Amino acid sequence: MKKRVVLITGANRGIGLELAQHYSRAGHYVIGVCRQTSDELDAAAARVIEHVDVTSDESVAGLADALAGERIDLLINNAGLLQENELGSIDFDSLRAQMEVNAYAPLRVTEALMLLIPSGGKVANITSRLGSITLNNSGARYGYRASKAALNAFGKSLAVDLEPKGIAVAQLHPGFVQTGMTKGRGEITTAESISGLTARIEALNLDNTGSFWHQTGERLPW
């Protein structure tokens, strides 16, 4: 097995931490990026870069500087924000915050680090089926839905623009996972989600780049 360099944003807890632990156990070199590290991440990652605000141009530029000369075989844009927004009580600051974290940040990080990703490298954007316009039959969650839809659009454009460089990009829905973001609610554990997510990442290539997948392997509609 070829040892890969795997960089994960939002790696200190939840899905990001589980991904870090998975790739570390598999023998890969894991770089965990977060605002504040955790004991679990310190134990799992080969390198932790904390105090990174993925919504800040300056902070992400500092991340790129810290990684100068590094190779990144797999970039996982995992950091995310979920806040409830219902019609009649919409907080537009909340919508803006979710757009910054869920949509702009993955694009910002990918653009800043893309020169470190070699041909054959991969970018995995952790998105949500709630970003699917076709599947929206329950409304609400205006900020989360819109930001994940925007991430899907950004991811598709990244796939087109990075394909000539030999880099494949996927949008991946982890499922309804029992994490702090969902306040422990969910249909599957983080371990179950990561089993599917990592299988989808392994199957990602230039033939299926730009696709939107459920962690189960189902291809999702936009």
- pLDDT at 186 (0 to 100): 65
Overall domain count for the chain: 1
190 located within any domain: yes
pLDDT (0 to 100) of residue 177: 83
Residue 116 one-letter amino acid: L
Range of the structural domain that residue 67 is part of? 5-214
pLDDT of residue 184: 61
Does any domain span residue 221?
no
- Residue 84, in any domain of the structure: yes
Task: Return d(Cα 149, Cα 154) in angstroms, integer.
Answer: 9
Q: Determine if residue 10 is left, alpha or beta; phi over 0 gives left, psi from -120 to 50 gives alpha, anything else beta.
A: left
Q: What is the pLDDT of residues 146-204, one digit of tens each?
A: 999 999 999 999 999 999 999 999 999 999 887 666 566 667 788 899 999 999 999 99
pLDDT score of 189: 86
The answer to whether residue 117 sits within a structural domain is yes
| CATH assignment of the domain containing 198 | 3.40.50.720
Global pTM?
0.95
In a domain, 95, yes or no: yes
Question: pLDDT digit string (tens) for 52-109?
Answer: 999 999 999 999 999 999 999 999 999 999 999 999 999 999 999 999 999 999 999 9
Helix H or strand E segment including 76: strand 74-77
Q: In 197-217, which positions are buried (b, 16+ CB within 10 angstroms) versus exposed (e)? A: bbebbeebebeebbbbbbbee
- pLDDT tens for 95-118 read 999 999 999 999 999 999 999 999
What one-character-per-residue DSSP string does 144-178 give? HHHHHHHHHHHHHHHHHHHGGGT-EEEEEE--SB-
- 222 located within any domain: no
User: Are the beta carbons of 165 and 186 closer than 8 angstroms?
Assistant: no
Give me the mean pLDDT over the 43-55 stretch: 98
**Average pLDDT over the chain, rounded to an integer:** 95
Q: Give 116-138 pLDDT, tens digit per residue.
A: 999 999 999 999 999 999 999 99
> Does 20 map to a domain?
yes
Predicted confidence at residue 180, as pLDDT, reads 60
Does the residue 200 lie in any domain?
A: yes
